[in-house]
Amino acid sequence: MFSFKNIFRLVALLEGVSYLLLLFIATPVKYYGNDPQYVKLLGMPHGLLFIAYVAMAFMLKKDLNWNQRTFIVVLLASVIPFGTFYVDKKFLNSKK
């Protein structure tokens, strides 16, 4: 149940959600509402989740037999809104 792949899936989900919250809620509130508190609140957890996502992707590359192109897509997904959700559906949600 708690395989390394499943932990990566959870980190990917949390990283994606934190990125969306930071991008679409906290940043507009900071600039349009003149309140940087939400960016400060969400920034550190998102940063830690981003680092964990990238590090775990490097660790899983060999185990999941990702070729170079797939690995690049997995890494780029961490900086594209909704990208980690795509990675989960396309590369991680298999029943293997």
CA distance 64 to 5: 9
- For residue 93, the model assigns a pLDDT of 84
Over residues 37-89, the pLDDT tens digits come to 999 999 999 999 999 999 999 999 999 999 999 999 999 999 999 999 999 99
Long-range contacts of 80-84 (CB under 8 A, 24+ apart): 81/19, 81/20, 81/23, 81/24, 82/16, 82/20, 83/16, 84/12, 84/13, 84/15, 84/16, 84/19, 84/53
Owning domain of residue 87? 4-92
Number of domains in the chain: 1
* pTM as predicted: 0.91
